Amino acid sequence: MSNTEKINLLNLNRAGLEGFFVDLGEKPFRAKQLMQWVHQRGVTDFAQMTDMSKELRKKLSQKACIAFPIISSTQQSKDGTRKWLLSVDGTENAIECVLIPEKSRTTLCISSQVGCTLNCSFCSTGKQGFNRNLTTAEIIAQLHLVHHGLLREGRKQGVTNVVMMGMGEPLLNFDAVMAAVDMMCDDYGYALSKRRVTISTAGVVPAIKKLNQVTDVSLAVSLHAPNDALREQLVPLNRKYPIRELFDACRVYIDGRKNRKITFEYVMLKGVNDSLAHARELAKLIGSIPCKLNLIPFNPYPYAIYQCSDTTTIDRFRETVSSKGIITVTRRARGEDIDAACGQLVGQFKDRSRRSQKYQIELEQIGKISHAC
C-alpha cells in the first residue's frame, strides 16, 4: 500500500486519532501516545514508538503514514528571518512559511491556502491567484518541520508563537485550520497557549461567529481602512461583509473573555489611507471595541500600484491614534530582502482562478507603456 492510499495521521487531531485507534480495535489513549511521539518528540517512524506493542506498530505501518511536504528551498534574511518553500503537490504547487526570531519569542507565520481567493489590492499573494485549500496535515507540517528543525539545530526552544498570516484566508479553510489549531494548543501536541496562536482574517463574518463557538485563540483582523468606501477598494471582501457587520462579530468574539483584545492590522499606503483625518476616523471606529492596532509599513513588490507611507507620516498617524488611549504599534518590517515580509509571500502554484494571467497581461501593458515613454 502506497503512502497516498494510507491515512496521513498528521490530518488528525486528538479526537480524530482517538476514532482512528478505536477503529483499529485499540483504546483511545493511544492517540495521546502517538501525539507525544510525533508532535512533541518529532518521531515519525512507527517502529521507534516503543510504548506501543509490536502488533500495533505493524498495523500502523500497514494502514497509516506520517507524510510531510517536501522542503524545496530555504532562505535566510540578513535580519535573521527565515523562509521555507514547501512543495505540497509534487512540483506543481508550493507554499511558503516564515520564521521571525526575536529575543523573547520565535514566531512562525503559517499558510492556510495555496494562493488566496480574496485579491486584496495591496497584497502580492492575491495577485498570484488561487489553487486550493491546504489539508490539516499540510498546515501542521509547517509547524512540525520548523519547530523540530530548530531543536535539531541545538536551539533551546523551538517555535513559541504561531500566526496564521501566511498565504491564504484561514477562515475560508475553516475545518482544516481548526484541526491544526487543536494540535498546536493540545497538551499532547505543541502545548501552545491560545494567546500565542493568532488567526488572521480579512473579515469573513460568518466564520468569525463560528470560530467563537469552537475556540478563543487570538484574533487579528486585516482592517486597512476606517470606512467602507475606502476599504472596499483595498479589501474587496468588505462589499460582502461591511465594517459594521465585521465589528459586531468581533465584539461577540471577545465578549465575556477577560483581558482579550482584537488586533487590527492596518497597512500604511502613501496618500491612500495615511492622513491624520484617516487616523482620527480610525481611532473613533476601533475605540468602540477592546483592541490594539498594528501599523504595517507597505512592503513593495514588482509593479505594485502603492508606495509605503514615509516614516514621519507613520509616526504622526500612530501618535494620533495612541492619543485616544488605543495601544498602537508600528510593526518592524522583517525579511524584506528575501520577500518574506507581510504581503510578499507568493509560493509557486498553478492558478485555477486565472487571476495571475490577468495580472500578467496588466504587467505586460505597463511594460509596453514604460518602453514607449
- Could you give the number of structural domains in the chain? 2
The verdict on 121 and 45 lying in the same domain is no
The verdict on 144 and 226 lying in the same domain is yes
Dihedrals phi, psi of 115, to nearest 5 degrees: 90, -160
Distance CA 153, CA 146 (A): 10
Q: How many CA atoms lie within 13 A of 324 on its CB side?
A: 21
Per-residue pLDDT, 363: 45
Per-residue pLDDT, 124: 82
Closest CA to 176 of 186, 189, 164, 188: 164
Per-residue pLDDT, 243: 98
Q: 214 burial class (0-12, 13-18, 19+ CB within 10 angstroms)?
A: exposed
The verdict on 23 and 171 lying in the same domain is no
Per-residue pLDDT, 344: 55
The verdict on 57 and 82 lying in the same domain is no
Closest CA to 211 of 231, 187, 194: 194
The verdict on 309 and 178 lying in the same domain is yes
| 371 within a domain of the structure (yes/no) | no
Per-residue pLDDT, 373: 38
| 373 within a domain of the structure (yes/no) | no
The verdict on 159 and 23 lying in the same domain is no
List the domain range (segments joined by +) for residue 235: 70-359
Helix (H) or strand (E) holding 208: helix 205-214
Answer with the one of 65, 84, 115 that is the final residue of a domain: 65
| 30 within a domain of the structure (yes/no) | yes
Distance CA 42, CA 99 (A): 18
The three-class DSSP label of residue 306 is coil
In the predicted model, residues of the chain with pLDDT beneath 70 are: 1-4, 335, 338-373
The verdict on 108 and 25 lying in the same domain is no
Answer with the one of 44, 65, 86 that is the final residue of a domain: 65
Per-residue pLDDT, 317: 98
The verdict on 303 and 349 lying in the same domain is yes
What CATH number is attached to the domain comprising 40?
A: 1.10.150.530
Per-residue pLDDT, 4: 66
The three-class DSSP label of residue 83 is strand
The verdict on 235 and 167 lying in the same domain is yes
Catalytic residues: 96, 342
Per-residue pLDDT, 123: 87
Residue with cell 483595498: 234
The verdict on 90 and 161 lying in the same domain is yes
Is residue 111 within 8 Å of 142, Cβ to Cβ?
Answer: yes
